[in-house]
Chain A
Amino acid sequence: MKYFISFCLLMFASWMPVHAATTDVLLEQLTTTKLSKLPDMVEQLEAQGDESLLPVFRAWLAGDLHYVKDSKAIVVETDVQGKEVYVDPFSQEQLSGLSSKDVKKIKVNNKLRGLLRGVIARIQLTSNNADVREGAVRELLSDIDEDTFATLEVLYPKESNNDVKEMMQTALSIYTAMDKSSSQTSRVAAIEFLGGSLENDVRNALLKLSRDKNEVVAAAADKALVDINRQVERYALVDQLFFGLSLGSVLLLASIGLAITFGVMGVINMAHGEMIMLGAYTTYVVQLIMPNYIDYSIWVAIPAAFLVSGLMGVLIERLVICRLHGRPLETLLATFGISLILQQLVRTIFSPLNRQVSTPSWMSGSWEINPVLSLTLNRLYILAFALLVFLALVFILKKSSLGLNVRAVSQNRSMAKAMGVKTEWVDAMTFGLGSGIAGIAGVALSQLTNVGPNLGQAYIIDSFMVVVFGGVGNLLGTLVAAFTLGIANKFLEPTTGAVLAAILVLVFIILFIQKRPKGLFPQKGRAAE
């Protein structure tokens, strides 16, 4: 959508009349101006009132504005199928024969970015798209000067879209409320209108107003602030709950594979974290193979990671774990050794440096419900994904014949064997399944954290914690435990800090295990023996 808008704007710009000669002079000056003097240039360029400059401003803001070293012509760098090409900002024609060596970037820093955003917003006030107009007004809320106020006053009656109208009224009210020369009644009325808005800039304006010399105005601002703050706090609680659920979903993903290998099979698998790491590296490799289709890479990476980690799991089970059956201490040490081997293997193949996994565009950004509550998309997707994986796993264990065999073997190995279940095959498959799920967790985690050789170690302790807390051998327990720990952690964090929160959670689990050694949902009946 965003691209479509900019495309429209570019199209719009391209048939505009050729810009004035002074603009050309200014543009050429851009190439020689020092960084500290560039803000003046922005103002001078805006003063030209030339709307065809919009693509130049946009490219500048994005850091794509360059100039050709020889001709001093302004060009915009764009990316066509992974290659840099340079286009003329006015005609949108691609300039052939230019490489990155022939051009130099026009510098941009935070001060310039702020200025450019304002300039672009002011140009966009007359855009054809209502969303763009609303965004433009919101951008201008933070500093409304006399000129902007006058422009908005003219535009306001003509505006047809209600959302944009309301945003404009907010902007106008801020100006009126702050304007000491307007009457007390109109200022108070403006403040009352602002009381319903959650915009940050509104709150800032009200904060300033609450220290106003006019007592009536200050009191009105105070009252509006109290209302707003009450709402903000309510949303903050929702936010915190979401953070907790999100952390819980990460814990669930990381530990659910372990719930099978440790919980159902009883193997203390210290290499579990490395299965997650392998999944994350698989995502990286998939993205390497299909660099132009990052948006779809995740869908390839999920089955690929399942296969890679799953096969590695089967291999480990066949080669090591099945030979150490019934000897938990040796299994623990052997799998710890395997985890070190896998880490070093990855270090040798991919270097000890972290690898860069890109986030698909549909997972970036956030879902803005209102100005104070926005949920980050990647975490939202991962929460949904974790639940989906959980359901799929429950389904496999309860409904498929593999699941039946797994449960039979875990409950009574010799009896299952007597009934003709190939226990060795089931062991390998179960371990493969648990490892494969860990691989899938790696795909999800690669979107949140660093993909490096130590990725797995960061999650192994947490995973064991969740499984032990939830009750060994119980998938539902793992689910409840993951979310409980996630939420508890996130509600503790603001008051205690991240370090102490983690400690407190750990202490809580230790105390809990003292009281109930078998976790939240202990296995009952003969299977528990």
Chain B
Amino acid sequence: MKLKTLASAIALSGATLIAFPSMAADDTIKVGVLHSLSGTMAISETTLKDTVLMMVEEQNKKGGLLGKKLEAVVVDPASNWPLFAEKARELITEKDVDVIFGCWTSVSRKSVLPVIEELNGLMFYPVQYEGEESSKNVFYTGAAPNQQAIPAVNYLKDELGVERWVLAGTDYVYPRTTNKILEAYLKDMGVAEEDIMINYTPFGHSDWQSIVADIAKFGSEGKKTAVVSTINGDANVPFYKELGNQGISSEDIPVVAFSVGEEELSGLDTAPLVGHLAAWNYFQSVETEENEEFITQWKAFTKNPDRVTNDPMEATYIGFNMWANAVSEAGTTDVDAVEQAMIGQETPNLTGGVAVMNKNHHLSKPVLIGEIQDDGQFETVWETEGVVPGDAWSDFLPGSKDLIADWTDPVKCGNYNTETKTCSGQNY
């Protein structure tokens, strides 16, 4: 018996990394996991793979779904954007999965989109992103710009009295779009052109000396200055180190980051970061019963008492629970039925509120601002009252002001122009 399982394991796994062939294919609902397990993004994405595996295990303990057990199918797109599309195709056509949880960077999602729309698959995307998109086949459980960037800027302006803005980011689509939105928003609020400094750096930038010196100079002109950072991944570490070394403290020039979470902080010396800010929809330090249970579960699952949780994990948690509810409600895993059942789904989030899936496939979430503490956790210093519904198309960009996404009848469109009352026809 054991040998047979082993043999089938080898046969099934094929070119992909892992498969869990515990049962014959027809008896299970297959959950595809499309997260990089190698390459640059492995640092962030392996955590999400583990989260999905944990959720699947939990669901199976509860008896699975529709009387069937769930089965996770893990593939490794290796931080290679075109490979994401190939692996997505493989998951849907060869592995026959009913749903995919996956992607981290926007460029990987954009690469998967045409495939998933062509094959009418279903994907949950759990990371904060730049918006300007709503696909029938994708549910966005991370934050849209109005659920992270805009509230963070409001906090800086209203609570800390910031008047000068540095928008620093890594040079790719998410920071560029977010900064475009922020720039338009700031100008709407009457911030002068010369009070906004925009700076882009390549991925993995490590020599921050002159940029930090520039920021210091920009901030030394008498007006309170803050940095809004969309710097991605591990480039953050040398950035904060350089800030510390050049003697810029969080009281002088606070940095609010959208990509620095507990997971990223666990790999570095937090001393130079204390007091800097991050905006998320979830912090591990939030004290609620649901969160405590989730953290205990996570530590037990990973068998590591030091493992931390983070925002994209919560987004995965919410997405998975909503999907499970929608499947039970629809009584089938058929994509179209589940897609309609998803809209309006409500499930508790981990911060004591209720997450709602809106018509535009985006979630309603609370926004929290936290200060980094020396133990690598965040102290919540501000939060929105209630939840903020995610806005697929920003109101601050000229091209998308009039667009809305609504996947219910009669509109049924991801980019419906409210002025001309037409759907552009573009699918994503």
- What residues of chain A have their CB less than 8 Å away from a CB belonging to chain B? 35, 63, 107-111, 113-114, 117, 200, 203-204, 207-208, 236, 239-240, 243, 246-247, 250, 344, 347, 352-359, 364-366, 368, 374, 376-379, 448-450, 452, 454, 458, 490, 493-494, 497-499, 502
What mask results when residues 287 to 331 of chain B are scored 1 for a CB within 8 Å of chain A, else 0?
Answer: 000000000000000000000000000000000000000000000
The residues of A that contact B201 with a CB separation of less than 8 Å are 497-499
The residues of B that contact A368 with a CB separation of less than 8 Å are 247
| Complex: A356 Cα to B270 Cα, angstroms | 10
* Interface pair A356/B43, CB less than 8 Å apart: no
The residues of B that contact A200 with a CB separation of less than 8 Å are 220
What mask results when residues 55 to 76 of chain B are scored 1 for a CB within 8 Å of chain A, else 0?
Answer: 0000000000000000000000
Report 13 cross-chain contacts, Cβ distance below 8 Å, ordered by A residue.
A63-B274, A107-B379, A109-B275, A109-B379, A113-B249, A117-B251, A208-B222, A354-B234, A374-B247, A450-B234, A450-B237, A450-B238, A497-B199
* Interface pair A364/B245, CB less than 8 Å apart: yes
Q: Any chain A CB within 8 A of the CB of B246?
A: yes
- Give the distance to chain A from B218, nearest Cβ to Cβ, in Å: 11
* Interface pair A110/B371, CB less than 8 Å apart: yes
- Give the distance to chain B from A15, nearest Cβ to Cβ, in Å: 30
* Interface pair B206/A356, CB less than 8 Å apart: no
Q: Which of B38, B237, B245, B269 contacts A366 (CB 8 A)?
A: B245
**A243 to chain B: closest residue by CB:** B209
Q: Which of B42, B222, B267, B371 contacts A204 (CB 8 A)?
A: B222
The residues of B that contact A247 with a CB separation of less than 8 Å are 207, 209
- Give the distance to chain B from A386, nearest Cβ to Cβ, in Å: 14
The residues of B that contact A365 with a CB separation of less than 8 Å are 245, 247
Q: Which of A110, A207, A364, A497 contacts B275 (CB 8 A)?
A: A110
* Interface pair B269/A35, CB less than 8 Å apart: no
Q: A204-B222, A354-B268 are in contact. Are A494 and B234 (CB under 8 A)?
A: no
Q: Which of A109, A114, A376, A454 contacts B381 (CB 8 A)?
A: A109
- Give the distance to chain A from B240, nearest Cβ to Cβ, in Å: 11
**A490 to chain B: closest residue by CB:** B210
- Give the distance to chain A from B380, nearest Cβ to Cβ, in Å: 9
* Interface pair B207/A250, CB less than 8 Å apart: yes
Q: Any chain A CB within 8 A of the CB of B221?
A: yes
* Interface pair B210/A493, CB less than 8 Å apart: yes
Chain B, interface SS category: loop
Q: Any chain A CB within 8 A of the CB of B373?
A: yes
* Interface pair A204/B221, CB less than 8 Å apart: yes
| Complex: A204 Cα to B251 Cα, angstroms | 16
What mask results when residues 193 to 225 of chain B are scored 1 for a CB within 8 Å of chain A, else 0?
Answer: 000000111101111011101100100111000
Q: Any chain A CB within 8 A of the CB of B5?
A: no
The residues of B that contact A378 with a CB separation of less than 8 Å are 245
* Interface pair A493/B211, CB less than 8 Å apart: yes
* Interface pair B246/A449, CB less than 8 Å apart: no
Q: A109-B371, A352-B38, A494-B214 are in contact. Are A376 and B267 (CB under 8 A)?
A: no
- Give the distance to chain A from B26, nearest Cβ to Cβ, in Å: 35
- Give the distance to chain A from B256, nearest Cβ to Cβ, in Å: 11
What mask results when residues 362 to 402 of chain B are scored 1 for a CB within 8 Å of chain A, else 0?
Answer: 00000000010110000101000000000000000000000
The residues of B that contact A358 with a CB separation of less than 8 Å are 269
* Interface pair A113/B251, CB less than 8 Å apart: yes
Q: Which of A114, A204, A374 contacts B246 (CB 8 A)?
A: A374
| Complex: A246 Cα to B238 Cα, angstroms | 14
| Complex: A507 Cα to B318 Cα, angstroms | 48
The residues of B that contact A111 with a CB separation of less than 8 Å are 160
**B217 to chain A: closest residue by CB:** A236
* Interface pair B204/A458, CB less than 8 Å apart: yes
Q: Any chain A CB within 8 A of the CB of B250?
A: yes
Total count of chain B residues near the partner, CB < 8 A: 49
* Interface pair B160/A110, CB less than 8 Å apart: yes
Q: Any chain A CB within 8 A of the CB of B132?
A: no
The residues of A that contact B171 with a CB separation of less than 8 Å are 499
- Give the distance to chain B from A359, nearest Cβ to Cβ, in Å: 7
The residues of B that contact A113 with a CB separation of less than 8 Å are 249-251, 275
The residues of A that contact B251 with a CB separation of less than 8 Å are 110, 113-114, 117
* Interface pair A376/B371, CB less than 8 Å apart: no
* Interface pair A366/B222, CB less than 8 Å apart: no
Q: Which B residues from 240 to 283 make CB contacts under 8 A with A? A: 241-242, 244-247, 249-251, 254, 266-269, 274-275
Q: A203-B220, A354-B234 are in contact. Are A452 and B43 (CB under 8 A)?
A: yes
| Complex: A72 Cα to B244 Cα, angstroms | 34
The residues of B that contact A114 with a CB separation of less than 8 Å are 251
* Interface pair B206/A449, CB less than 8 Å apart: yes
| Complex: A208 Cα to B223 Cα, angstroms | 10
| Complex: A493 Cα to B266 Cα, angstroms | 31
The residues of A that contact B42 with a CB separation of less than 8 Å are 347, 352
The residues of A that contact B200 with a CB separation of less than 8 Å are 497-499
* Interface pair A502/B202, CB less than 8 Å apart: yes
Q: Any chain A CB within 8 A of the CB of B22?
A: no
| Complex: A4 Cα to B133 Cα, angstroms | 58
| Complex: A110 Cα to B251 Cα, angstroms | 6
- Give the distance to chain A from B176, nearest Cβ to Cβ, in Å: 12
* Interface pair B245/A376, CB less than 8 Å apart: yes
* Interface pair B209/A366, CB less than 8 Å apart: no
- Give the distance to chain A from B84, nearest Cβ to Cβ, in Å: 18
In the complex, which of the residues B241, B242, B247 has the most CB atoms of chain A within 10 Å of its own CB atom? B241
The residues of A that contact B267 with a CB separation of less than 8 Å are 353-356, 450
The residues of B that contact A458 with a CB separation of less than 8 Å are 204, 206
Q: A110-B371, A208-B222, A352-B42 are in contact. Are A494 and B210 (CB under 8 A)?
A: yes
Q: A365-B245, A450-B234, A494-B214 are in contact. Are A110 and B207 (CB under 8 A)?
A: no
Q: Any chain A CB within 8 A of the CB of B418?
A: no
Q: Any chain A CB within 8 A of the CB of B408?
A: no
- Give the distance to chain B from A290, nearest Cβ to Cβ, in Å: 16
- Give the distance to chain B from A402, nearest Cβ to Cβ, in Å: 33
* Interface pair A207/B246, CB less than 8 Å apart: no
* Interface pair B213/A243, CB less than 8 Å apart: yes
- Give the distance to chain A from B275, nearest Cβ to Cβ, in Å: 5
The residues of B that contact A354 with a CB separation of less than 8 Å are 43, 234, 237, 267-268
**A100 to chain B: closest residue by CB:** B375
- Give the distance to chain B from A380, nearest Cβ to Cβ, in Å: 10
* Interface pair A356/B246, CB less than 8 Å apart: no
**B380 to chain A: closest residue by CB:** A35
The residues of A that contact B46 with a CB separation of less than 8 Å are 352
* Interface pair B40/A454, CB less than 8 Å apart: yes
| Complex: A200 Cα to B222 Cα, angstroms | 9
* Interface pair B250/A110, CB less than 8 Å apart: yes
* Interface pair B245/A110, CB less than 8 Å apart: no
* Interface pair B209/A246, CB less than 8 Å apart: yes
Q: Report, nearest first, the 10 A-B pairs whose CB atoms are least far apart.
A: A204-B222, A352-B42, A449-B206, A376-B245, A354-B267, A243-B209, A450-B234, A498-B201, A114-B251, A207-B222
| Complex: A247 Cα to B208 Cα, angstroms | 10
The residues of A that contact B206 with a CB separation of less than 8 Å are 448-450, 458
* Interface pair B209/A454, CB less than 8 Å apart: no
In the complex, which of the residues A109, A236, A379, A497 has the most CB atoms of chain B within 10 Å of its own CB atom? A109
